[in-house]
Amino acid sequence: MPDISRFGVIGCGLMGSGIAEVAALRGLDVIVAESTPELAAAGRDRVAASLDRGVLRGKLTGADRDRALARLSFTHDLGKLADRQFVIEAVAERREVKLEVFRQLDKVLTDPDVVLATNTSSIPVVDLAVATGRASRVVGLHFFNPVPVQKLIEVIPALTTSADALDRARSFATEQLGKEVIQAPDRSGFVVNALLVPYLLAAVRMVESGAARPEDVDRGMELGCAHPMGPLRLLDLIGLDTAQAVAESMYEEFKEPLYAAPPLLQRMVAAGHLGRKSGRGFYAYDA
């Protein structure tokens, strides 16, 4: 199977920017599409800032950063992705937004062998697949935050995914992006979030009920179970809005009360306390 050289990423938020960065560092030609010129420019700044941090920490040389930046281009015109061999969608975790991206992508992509992946955390991959005229070429590739650090990608075949598209997605993830994969079922939450989300929501309920303070919950899990960060710090990293959206999709699918977003989480999202990205969540962060 020839390597993918022309890669596309839709959406340049936390996840999309991390995926674009990793792909460019691994030598791929990457086009990143955002919905407006302003968001495309902000996406470029996000990737450039992360590469700069890599240089400051001695992880990358200035030349690595410059080569990666030269392989990246940013656009607000989805049509620029026409010649891509592999495209991943990493827009906000909202069904309608993702469906619209898949419908539009289907119209612009010209390579009949192109693979369309989604980084959704919780929306059924098959729903996005059947929004296109090429459901056999659509697959889930679920990355973890921060993308440059976390080794795992969940690979999720939908009922419609062909063996060839699945193989291509697996080899792209492992051989080209250098990640490790597990195969996960096309059920809301896949494997990791199905276990992680009820745990995170239980931590929110513990704080909401006044039973424990955030810092005690987090220190408990960090020192007691050697987790790199406790559940509330992790929610701040993931983004409370994203966590809420994932919990709601899982609840919608299973009607399992443990998946229901607690009122405190909903109120924090309504208040704009989204975690690190907004400067405030369970903790306060520098801008």
Q: 194 Cβ partners below 8 Å, 6+ apart?
A: 187, 188, 250
Question: Closest Cα to residue 145, out of 106, 68, 213, 90?
Answer: 90
Question: Closest Cα to residue 169, out of 131, 191, 138?
Answer: 138
- DSSP codes, 206-260: HHHTTSS-HHHHHHHHHHHH--SS-HHHHHHHH-HHHHHHHHHHHHHHH--GGGS
Cis preceding-peptide flag for 124 (omega within 30 of 0): no
The catalytic residue among 121, 122, 249, 278 is: 121
- Residue number, 11 or 78, with CB nearest to ligand 3HC: 11
Euclidean distance between the first and the last CA atom of the chain, given in angstroms as a whole number: 45
Q: Based on the shown chain and the rule CB under 6 A, indicate whether residue 246 belongs to the binding site for ligand 3HC.
A: yes
* Segment near ligand 3HC (CB under 6 A); pick from 109-117, 142-150, 256-264, 279-287: 142-150
Q: Which amino acid is at 58?
A: G
- Residue number, 111 or 253, with CB nearest to ligand 3HC: 253
The catalytic residue among 34, 122, 142, 273 is: 142
Please count the residues of this chain forming the interface with ligand 3HC, following the rule CB under 6 A.
17
CB-based closest residue to ligand 3HC: 121
User: Is residue 119 flagged as an active site residue?
Assistant: no
Q: Based on the shown chain and the rule CB under 6 A, indicate whether residue 150 belongs to the binding site for ligand 3HC.
A: yes
As measured in angstroms, the least distance from the Cβ of 46 to ligand 3HC is 10
User: Is residue 121 flagged as an active site residue?
Assistant: yes
Residues 110-129 that bind ligand 3HC (CB under 6 A): 121
How many other C-beta atoms can be found within 10 angstroms of the C-beta atom of residue 212?
13
Q: Based on the shown chain and the rule CB under 6 A, indicate whether residue 144 belongs to the binding site for ligand 3HC.
A: yes
CA distance 74 to 19: 14
- Residue number, 59 or 213, with CB nearest to ligand 3HC: 59
Q: Which of 17, 50, 85, 176 is close enough to bind ligand 3HC by CB under 6 A?
A: 50
Q: Based on the shown chain and the rule CB under 6 A, indicate whether residue 148 belongs to the binding site for ligand 3HC.
A: yes
CA quadruple 70, 71, 75, 79: dihedral sign = positive
Q: Is residue 246 within 8 Å of residue 259, measured between CB atoms?
A: no
The catalytic residue among 17, 188, 193, 249 is: 193
* Segment near ligand 3HC (CB under 6 A); pick from 69-77, 157-165, 201-209, 227-235: 227-235
As measured in angstroms, the least distance from the Cβ of 97 to ligand 3HC is 16
Q: Is residue 138 within 8 Å of residue 125, measured between CB atoms?
A: yes
Q: Based on the shown chain and the rule CB under 6 A, indicate whether residue 57 belongs to the binding site for ligand 3HC.
A: yes
The catalytic residue among 21, 89, 93, 154 is: 154
Q: Based on the shown chain and the rule CB under 6 A, indicate whether residue 146 belongs to the binding site for ligand 3HC.
A: yes
* Segment near ligand 3HC (CB under 6 A); pick from 5-13, 146-154, 169-177, 263-271: 146-154
Q: 126 Cβ partners below 8 Å, 6+ apart?
A: 135, 158, 159, 160, 186
Catalytic residues: 121, 142, 154, 193
**Which residues of the shown chain bind ligand 3HC in the complex (CB under 6 A)?**
50, 57, 59, 121, 144-146, 148-150, 193, 228-229, 234, 238, 242, 246
